[in-house]
Amino acid sequence: MSTKSRILIARAISPEVVEQLKQHFDVQSNQDDVVWTPEELAQQLQGKDGVLTTGSQRIDAQLLAACPQLKIVANMAVGYNNFDVPAMTAAGVQGTNAPDVLTETTADFGFALLMATARRITESEHYLRAGLWKDWHYDLFAGAEVHGSTLGILGMGRIGQAIARRAAYGFGMKVIYHNRSRLDTAMEAECKAAYVSKQELLQRADHLMLVLPFTPENRHTIGAAEIAQMKPTATLINIARGGIVDDAALAQALRDKRIAAAGLDVFEGEPAVHPDLLTVPNVVLTPHIASATKGTRTAMAALAADNLISFFAGKGALTPVNLLGGSGLH
- Name the burial class of residue 136, with classes exposed (0-12), middle (13-18) and buried (19+) by CB atoms within 10 angstroms of its CB: exposed
Question: What type of residue sits at position 314?
Answer: G
Active site residue 288: yes
Is 180 designated active site?
no
Catalytic one of 104, 190, 200, 270: 270
C-alpha distances out from residue 280 to 260, 262, 271, Å: 11, 10, 18
Asked if 159 and 106 touch (Cβ cutoff 8 Å), the reply is yes
Of 241, 268, 274, 297, the active-site residue reads 241
Give the three-class secondary structure for 145. coil
Spell out the residues 6+ positions from residue 245 whose beta carbon is closer than 8 angstroms to its own. Answer: 210, 220, 221, 222, 223, 236, 238, 264, 268
Taking the alpha carbons of 295, 298, 300, 303 in that order, is the dihedral positive or negative?
A: negative
Q: Which of 11, 119, 288, 297 is catalytic?
A: 288
What secondary structure letter does DSSP report for 323? Answer: -
Is 120 among the residues known to form the active site? no
Q: In whole angstroms, what is the distance from residue 179 CA to residue 297 CA?
A: 27
The answer to whether the CB of 62 falls within 8 A of the CB of 86 is no
By the 8 A CB rule, do 43 and 1 touch?
no
DSSP state of 221: S
Instruction: Give exposure, 33-65, as e/b (b: 16+ Cβ within 10 Å).
Output: eeebeeeebbebbeebbbbbbbbebebeeebbe
Any idea what DSSP says for residue 168?
Answer: I
Asked if 83 and 201 touch (Cβ cutoff 8 Å), the reply is no
Q: Which residues are catalytic?
A: 241, 270, 288
